[in-house]
Amino acid sequence: MSNTHFPITPMAGVKFDTPTDTAQFALGTICQGSDGTEWVYVQAGAALVLGDCVGITEDFVATGLTLTTANDADRLGFAQVAFSSGQYGWVALRGSNIKCRVKASCAADAQLWTTASAGVLDDATAANAEKVDGIVMVAANGAATAAVECKASWPHLRES
């Protein structure tokens, strides 16, 4: 597992770090986790990697957020493990010690924006980018796109 989150809601079989090929819970099921995290059970609409910022539709299908897919997102979450397209699993909605993929040289505590790269946020804006409020990077990112530690508090999109 990429982090130390574990479920605190008493539900049998919850494993935040194990996507499956068949549904184990109803899509949209919510589970509370350690570090003040909250998770939602989704189906991956495309392959996801650790830290992807995902747009979640009203049908609880998660895809990597981009400039163009942002309008379809009902809510935002963060993949804390890799998913193959079509797999089922848990994505983090909020809490501490959450991984979020950001572009190179992204500054800590900066406003984050959607990008053309699926699942990747940045502190620099681009044409048609939307602000992502409610997510804060704990430390600056280095020289390459990476999944970095963040704190999320009900992240959402806000048109610029």
Domain ranges of the chain: 99-159
The residue type found at 72 is: D
CB under 8 A, 24+ apart: contacts of 23-30: 23/88, 24/88, 25/88, 27/59, 27/60, 27/88, 28/60, 30/93
pLDDT at 6 over 90: no
Q: Which pLDDT does position 2 carry in this prediction?
A: 44
Cα distance between residue 152 and residue 154, in whole Å: 6
- Reported pTM: 0.93
pLDDT-derived band at 159, boundaries 50, 70, 90: low
Cα distance between residue 2 and residue 121, in whole Å: 19
Q: β-strands 30-32, 121-122: how paired? A: unpaired
Q: Which pLDDT does position 1 carry in this prediction?
A: 38
CA dist list (Å): 64 to 14, 32, 98: 23, 23, 16
Q: Which pLDDT does position 22 carry in this prediction?
A: 98
Reduced to 3 states (helix: H, G, I; strand: E, B; else coil), residue 58 is coil
Mean pLDDT, all residues of the chain = 93
Q: Which pLDDT does position 138 carry in this prediction?
A: 94
Q: Which residues contact 10 (CB under 8 A, 6 or more apart)?
A: none
Of the two residues 155 and 159, the one the predictor is more confident about is 155
pLDDT at 45 over 80: yes
Q: Which pLDDT does position 3 carry in this prediction?
A: 56
